[in-house]
Amino acid sequence: MQKSRLHLIATVVVTCTALTVAGCAAASIPADERAGARADRTTVSVGPPSGESAEVGGHTVSTADGYAADGAPISEIADTPAIANLDADLRHAVARATEAAAADGVEVRINSGWRSRAYQQALLDQGVEEHGSLEEARRWVNTPDRSTHVQGRAVDVGAIDAAVWMQEHGRQFGLCQSYENESWHYELATTAGGECPPMRRDSSAG
């Protein structure tokens, strides 16, 4: 274990040395994000690569696909593709809801937002591995063609207390839970203060 970690560190050092001109931390970050990072250095995490890419369902996905290792309040990750590529009205509604939740002492973290088609397919492939069949996986993960995450129209919130807060207050901001089996998945599905449409049983239903 120790040996492999040392090897990882050594690899990082070599990679950083090779990328001195570009800057190690910025090497795997998209150009528009680098521009944002220059404007606000406090949003950049410097050090060994952590959370910028991962193996999901046999595919490598990165922040450019909307991948995020850890959820964070929307204000902290607004410039990442997972948030920046969301529908603007949804993004604003989630930001307002997050502020209101904070005033109630509840931190709403965004665990997932926009996803590339490749990332969605990776999640579906992972779901098939975990659940044993495409039919069962589809109850939890939609196809790239149907996923509202790919369309930039959905966010997954956490933790549990945030999901509970959203169930009670989300519709004040037009945010509605879409599926009975996913307490964390919210879409802008009504007007502020309006009635939410009936939930679907799970994601295989739509």
In the complex, the residues that contact Zn ion under the rule CB under 5 A are 154, 156, 185
Measured from the CB atom, is 37 or 84 closer to Zn ion? 84
CB of 146 to Zn ion, least distance (A): 12
Helix (H) or strand (E) holding 153: none
110, 71 contact by CB (below 8 A): yes
The residue count for the chain: 206
Comparison of 63 and 148: residue with beta carbon closer to Zn ion: 148
Closest contact distance (angstroms) between CB of 185 and Zn ion is 4
The Cα 13–Cα 10 span in angstroms is: 5
Q: Which is nearer to Zn ion, 86 or 154 (CB)?
A: 154
Q: How many degrees, rounded to 5, is the angle at CA 126 between CA 121 and CA 131?
A: 125
Residue with Cβ nearer Zn ion (37 or 95):
95
Min CB(112)–Zn ion separation in Å: 6
CA-based max dimension of the chain: 57
Q: Which residues of 126-147 are buried (b: 16+ CB within 10 A; e: fewer)?
A: bbbeeeeeeeebbbbbbbbeeb
Question: Least distance in Å: CB of 147 to Zn ion?
Answer: 8
What are residue 150's phi and psi, to 5 degrees?
-60, -35
Q: CB of 155: closest distance to Zn ion in angstroms?
A: 7
Nearer to Zn ion, 149 or 171 (CB): 149
